[in-house]
Amino acid sequence: MEPVLSLRNILKRFGGLTAVKHVNLDIFPGEVVGLVGDNGAGKSTLIKCVSGVYHPDEGEIQFMGQTMAFSKPIDARRVGIETIYQDLALAPNLNISANIFMGREAKRRYFGGLIKTLDEEKMLSESRRVIDSLDIRLPNFGAQIDKLSGGQRQAVAIARAVYWNARLMIMDEPTNNLGVPEQRKVLDLIRKLRESGVPVILISHTLPDVFAVTDRIVVMHRGHKVAEKQTAQTDSQTVVEYMVGARSDVRAD
Amino acid sequence: MALESQTDVSTLTATQQSVRAQRHVLLTLSRVWAWVFLIALIVFFSLSVSITSEGDVNFLTLRNSQNILIAITPVLLMGLGQTFVIIAGGIDLSVGWVMGLSSVISALLARDLVARGIDPTPAIFLAFAGGIAASGMVGLINGLIIARLKVPPFIVTLGVSFIVRGVALLFSGGQTVAGLPTQLRDFGNESLLYWVGGGANQLHFLRRPEVTGEQLRALDRILGWPVVITAIVVAIAIFLLHKTQFGRHTYAIGGNKEAALRAGVPVDRHTILLYVMSAVTAGIAGLLHSARFSGGSPTAGDPLLLGSIAAVVIGGVSLFGGVGQISGTVIGALIIAVLQTGLVMLGVEAFWQFIVVGSVVILAVLIDQSRDLIIGRAES
């Protein structure tokens, strides 16, 4: 099977500091990969190279078999790499459908396109469709985002990515600041994405979540990828040892 | 899986339901309070003015209503652009002097073009275009510095306000620009409809009836041109803010600028456009001032700036951005004008107006804040 995303020898420097050191990583369709590591291990930097926030100094990013060179996050989103950030990137004062369509609003045209108005009906029905397809239940669909709970907001962010045909989903600490029932619901959503064939890279400090939902776990330590394990064939004790640098599958510099 | 609300209506006790009903009433009241307050003010002044004057003077007359509408036009026009800017999380302190600049530039152009032998009507059009262009330039400068150089809007528009003040005073020599064509004055003072009262009871459309003497005193102008122009700008503003992508992006930027940027909203370009719009609506107010008073006054807008921001705030626009409506700003401007006119008619010393308006501004924000308390936030 061809990988959806293939990272070859990625290296990223910030002045004298090398945050990511020669990392190779393949992500296959319908796979959930956990990316773990201590603070400063380089996982966020690596992910920001994929989502177009940073440009790697060395190495190659291949997406759907093509070499990519992103200069802005919007470039990555155009090819279908959606990143769901911790702060969710939703406007709290707008409702669900306005958020799903933010920046790409559906419009009605009048007088040959001279006057364009928002097509609220279309945005509402499309939003409902995608929310239903993910089995998300929201009590009041017209509500503003700031009236929703953390888990519901997370669900809206995921629904937005799905609606805009995400072909790779990157989730940065999606269960942070959520109550236990809501954490479980977000993990269910990740499984749902896997069923639909969308691969997910999950960045998390919460190892039980990582073990609950991933197929594979990649561990980073001081910029290196120090381990890549099938989730079923490892345990959290081992992963922690890799995370703190007590074990490594690569030789240190 | 389901992300369901934790409360189910059927399991609520009777007390919980009555609390809900009370909350609902409070919430509705807090949303429409400005309308209720405006109507209450009108009723109060109608009664108190006719009682204190023993029936000789009435508040609720055709003439008085038209005076109020004319009086709010500059404040409302400045408030309209300001509403967009504040919803997007900014502020524009330069509009007062932009109005003055527009008034001066349009008056100078009208006077000098006519003096050079150009017909008054095209000269007035060119003068208006010049006033708008000068205002738009100021807005462009505001927007560029705010969006591209990332200087806080408060600082930029404060600085630009001083600069524009200097420019307007330099152009006018610190005086009112006089000697304007009479057609300009007619435009500022004539109206869409005319009512001849005093027994004649005739309604005239567009053309002022030829009346003299006693009948002239019974002539009422309904919907003066400044009011008509302002109404058109209000309609455009409502359409833009509430029906178009432009409006949606304005709310998105005010709600979460970073999110808007990541979602592909052209935040910088939008910000620049907002300050141009704000300056242009102030510029229109300047043109109307030149027309109404047949003179270009550099200081025309300065005393109105804070009143226009007060109207926006009374209308429920949050200075934190993301929240507000055009209708709110219209009501805010009406509340201020009704208060001022009513107090004058009651014979209250004029200085009290400031004390009352200031109190209403604070009251309005208190009511808006209490709304958030009533609604509460979803538990996360």
Tens-digit pLDDT profile for residues B226-247: 999 999 999 999 999 999 999 9
The span from the CA of A228 to the CA of A249, in Å, is 9
The range of the structural domain enclosing residue A246 comes to 1-80+171-253
Cα separation values, B270 from A45, A54, B19, B273, B312, Å: 30, 25, 43, 5, 21
Contacts of A136 in chain B (CB under 8 A): 1-3
Contacts of B252 in chain A (CB under 8 A): 91, 94, 98, 102-103
Which one has a higher pLDDT value, B169 or A205?
Answer: B169
Alpha helix positions (H), A16-119: 43-50, 73-79, 96-100
SS3 B168: helix
- Residue that is last in its domain, among A105, A138, A166: A166
Whether residue A122 lies inside any domain: the answer is yes
pLDDT of residue B373: 74
- Contact of B235 with chain A, judged by CB distance below 8 Å, is answered with no
Length of chain B: 380
**Cβ distance A23 to A219 under 8 Å?**
no
SS3 B378: coil
Whether residue A134 lies inside any domain: the answer is yes
Task: Tell me the Ramachandran region of residue A40: left when phi exceeds 0, alpha when psi lies from -120 to 50, beta otherwise.
Answer: left
Residue A73 sits in the same domain as residue A143: no
The span from the CA of B375 to the CA of B380, in Å, is 15
pLDDT confidence band for B3 (50 / 70 / 90): very low
pLDDT confidence band for B378 (50 / 70 / 90): very low
Residue A240 sits in the same domain as residue A191: yes
Whether residue A5 lies inside any domain: the answer is yes
pLDDT of residue B10: 53
Which one has a higher pLDDT value, B352 or B200?
Answer: B352
Kindly determine whether residue B260 and residue A107, on different chains, have CB atoms separated by under 8 Å. no
pLDDT of residue A177: 78
Distance to chain A for B16, nearest Cα, Å: 19
Kindly determine whether residue B380 and residue A116, on different chains, have CB atoms separated by under 8 Å. no
Mean pLDDT (whole number) for B334-357: 92
- Find the helix packing angle between B267-293 and B120-148, rounded to 10°: 150
Residue A71 sits in the same domain as residue A177: yes
Count of structural domains within chain A? 2
> Which residues have CB under 8 Å from A87's CB, separation 6+?
B258, B259
Whether residue A89 lies inside any domain: the answer is no
The half-sphere exposure of B55 on its side-chain side, counting CA atoms within 13 A, is 0
Residue ranges of chain A whose pLDDT lies below 50: 252-253
Which one has a higher pLDDT value, B43 or B9?
Answer: B43
Please report the number of interchain residue pairs, chain A to chain B, with beta-carbon separation below 8 angstroms.
100
- Residue that is last in its domain, among A137, A166, A195: A166
Whether B9 has a pLDDT exceeding 70, the answer reads: no
Pairing between β-strand A58-63 and β-strand A5-14 as defined by DSSP bridges: antiparallel
pLDDT confidence band for B7 (50 / 70 / 90): very low
pLDDT of residue A87: 67
pLDDT of residue B168: 97
Which one has a higher pLDDT value, B54 or A106?
Answer: A106
pLDDT of residue A209: 92
Distance to chain B for A246, nearest Cα, Å: 37
Whether B80 has a pLDDT exceeding 80, the answer reads: yes
Residue A4 sits in the same domain as residue A68: yes
Whether B4 has a pLDDT exceeding 80, the answer reads: no
The span from the CA of B40 to the CA of B289, in Å, is 31
User: B348 phi and psi, to 5 degrees?
Assistant: -75, 140
Whether residue A86 lies inside any domain: the answer is no
pLDDT of residue A251: 57
Kindly determine whether residue B258 and residue A93, on different chains, have CB atoms separated by under 8 Å. no
Instruction: State which residue of chain B sits closest to A176, comparing Cα positions.
Output: B380
The span from the CA of A56 to the CA of A77, in Å, is 17
Which of A79-83, B156-160, B337-341 has the highest mean predicted lDDT (pLDDT)? B156-160
- Residue that is last in its domain, among A118, A137, A166: A166
The span from the CA of A104 to the CA of B263, in Å, is 8
The span from the CA of B140 to the CA of B124, in Å, is 24
Which of B282-296 are b and which e, b meaning 16 or more Cβ less than 10 Å from the residue's Cβ? bbbbbbbbbbbbbbb
Q: How confident is the prediction for chain B on average, in pLDDT?
A: 90
The span from the CA of B89 to the CA of B80, in Å, is 15
Residue A40 sits in the same domain as residue A115: no
Instruction: Look up the CATH number of the domain holding residue A7.
Output: 3.40.50.300
Kindly determine whether residue A91 and residue B3, on different chains, have CB atoms separated by under 8 Å. no
Instruction: State which residue of chain A sits closest to B258, comparing Cα positions.
Output: A89
Whether residue A228 lies inside any domain: the answer is yes
pLDDT of residue B226: 95
Kindly determine whether residue B3 and residue A77, on different chains, have CB atoms separated by under 8 Å. no
The span from the CA of B17 to the CA of B5, in Å, is 16
Task: State what percent of residues in chain B have pLDDT above 90.
Answer: 72
Q: Which DSSP state fits A82?
A: E
Cα separation values, B78 from B223, B236, B276, B279, B309, Å: 19, 14, 12, 8, 8
pLDDT confidence band for B12 (50 / 70 / 90): low
Residue A139 sits in the same domain as residue A178: no
Q: A23: which strand partners?
A: A10
Whether residue A87 lies inside any domain: the answer is no
Whether residue A195 lies inside any domain: the answer is yes
Residue A150 sits in the same domain as residue A214: no
Lookup: tokens for A22: 């020669």
The span from the CA of A22 to the CA of A251, in Å, is 12
Residue A137 sits in the same domain as residue A199: no
pLDDT confidence band for B218 (50 / 70 / 90): confident
pLDDT of residue B6: 45
pLDDT of residue B284: 98
Residue A101 sits in the same domain as residue A151: yes
Helix (H) or strand (E) holding A231: none
**Cβ distance A33 to A202 under 8 Å?**
yes
Q: Which ipTM did the prediction report?
A: 0.84
Mean pLDDT (whole number) for B8-30: 73
Residue A43 sits in the same domain as residue A104: no
Residue A64 sits in the same domain as residue A176: yes
Residue A158 sits in the same domain as residue A186: no
